[in-house]
Amino acid sequence: MGVAGSFPGYAGRPPGPVMDRDEADRALARLGAEHEAIETSLLALQDHAGRRLLEGADLTGVTKERWASTEQSITLLWGYFDAYAGALAEARAVRARRRHPNRDDLVALTELLRGQGVTVAHVVGRPDPSITGPAKLSERFTLEELVARMNDLYARSLDMVVASDSVWSALPARIDLLAAELHRTRSLAHSVGVRPGEHPAGDDLEAITHELTTLRVQVISDPLAFWLSGPGSSAPGGGRPDTTRYDRAARALDDVRREIEAVLAVRQDAEQRLVHLRDVLSRADRTLTEARSARGEVLAKIAASEVPAVSGPATALQERLAAASEYRRHAQWHRLSPLLETLEREAEEELLRARESLTAVTAPLAVRAELRGRLDAYKAKVARHGMAEDPLLIERYDAARRMLWSAPCDLRVATQAVLRYQEAAAELLSQRRTSGPEDRR
């Protein structure tokens, strides 16, 4: 519905200069187009699905209040439209008297088209002041002012109708779909022993059921309570449905469904997971046993070394594993599910801790092995250069070897001995490279 520009009009005197024939014809054409647009808009509003739903609904809250005001606005709109149509018809009748209107005709047209010649009586009683301003029994308008008033009432009425229809189109159907999914989840939960009062997920399902039932009733009776107007938008229906509560219920149902699926998975592969847990804990125990044996070997073979202590087996995990086996034997899947998840995580952590303990205990042996390999590698290098019989190298090699192949081995002293052998070898190799080219004949 377009908004026409307003023209000044003053009671008791002509509303500005008298229009000529062309001005009057242009004004009549413009106002005629406005008349058709307004009529089309009002008929569309009358047939709008949201308006028909509002008329037949048992409304509450803010929607009930706004619909009462909107009904008055729609009634006023039709009254204003009838007055507008009557004034336009009168102006057309004056213009139709003569092909070339005289001055009296033009004065009359000017008064009709620009003056405040349209009187609207509020026959429906005193209207709500929020609709038309201060309450009056009748009002006088120019045609342009009347169009502006109708545009304002139409926009507010359409906004209320479109907002309500948008909420009704979006939320109830989604709530019904979620309720159907909730029903399937509840049936599945009961089949695996997840019931209210026995499992937290069962209590959550009851809470979600109550929330969806309440939410649907409230959406149907008070849709505007679930409407968020668009920021800075003045167009009718600018905004979106508020799905906060629906989204929260959907997320809660997803969480419960995942938990039920976990319980179902436990029922299907519980024995396999228990066997895997026993295997992981057994490997952790064997690794700790190996670490304790290796610690004794390190203490016997390596001197002046800090060797960490090795803890005992995880008896607490073994006891909880036995409890998990009991849950499986008695088909208590909802209790077995969280316990298995915790045990699997802690068993892997226990195996990792055992491996780290073995690595820490055997670190001195790894250092000794690395020193032995380095010493032999340098011996092979000097042999390739024909310096294996050098007395200094033989002396330092023998000293380092005695330290590395004796028990207990002092790693600090052995490291220094290997470094001295490396330095001597590097010095001799450097001297040989700078002594000049070889005679290869």
Q: What is the pLDDT of residues 204-240, one digit of tens each?
A: 999 999 999 999 999 999 999 999 887 655 556 678 8
- pLDDT tens digits, 245-259: 999 999 999 999 988
Residues 6+ apart with CB under 8 A from 290: 358
- pLDDT tens digits, 3-51: 333 333 333 344 567 766 677 778 777 877 887 788 888 888 888 888 8
Q: Given CA atoms 314, 316, 322, 324 in this order, what sign does their dihedral have?
A: negative
**Whole-model pTM?**
0.54
Q: What are 311's two structure tokens?
A: 């803890």
C-beta of residue 334 within 8 angstroms of C-beta of residue 256: no
Kind of pairing between the strands at 138-141 and 302-303:
unpaired
Q: Which residues pair with 121 in a beta bridge?
A: 138
How far is Cα 223 from Cα 167, in angstroms, rounded to an integer? 6
Q: Which residue has the higher pLDDT, 290 or 138?
A: 290
Kind of pairing between the strands at 227-229 and 409-410:
unpaired
pLDDT band at 134 (very low <50, low <70, confident <90, very high): low
> What single-letter DSSP state applies at residue 173?
H
Residues 6+ apart with CB under 8 A from 51: 45, 74, 161
C-beta of residue 302 within 8 angstroms of C-beta of residue 408: yes
- What backbone torsions phi and psi does residue 439 show, to the nearest 5 degrees? -85, 105
Peptide bond into 200 cis (omega under 30): no
End-to-end Cα separation, the chain, in angstroms: 111
User: Residue 117: what pLDDT?
Assistant: 63
Alpha-carbon distances of 23 from 17, 113, 117, 304, 340, rounded to whole Å: 11, 10, 18, 114, 88
The count of other CB atoms within 10 Å of the CB of residue 426 is 13
The count of other CB atoms within 10 Å of the CB of residue 385 is 12
* DSSP per position, 104-120: HHHHHHHHHHHSS-EEE
Res 422 pLDDT > 70: yes
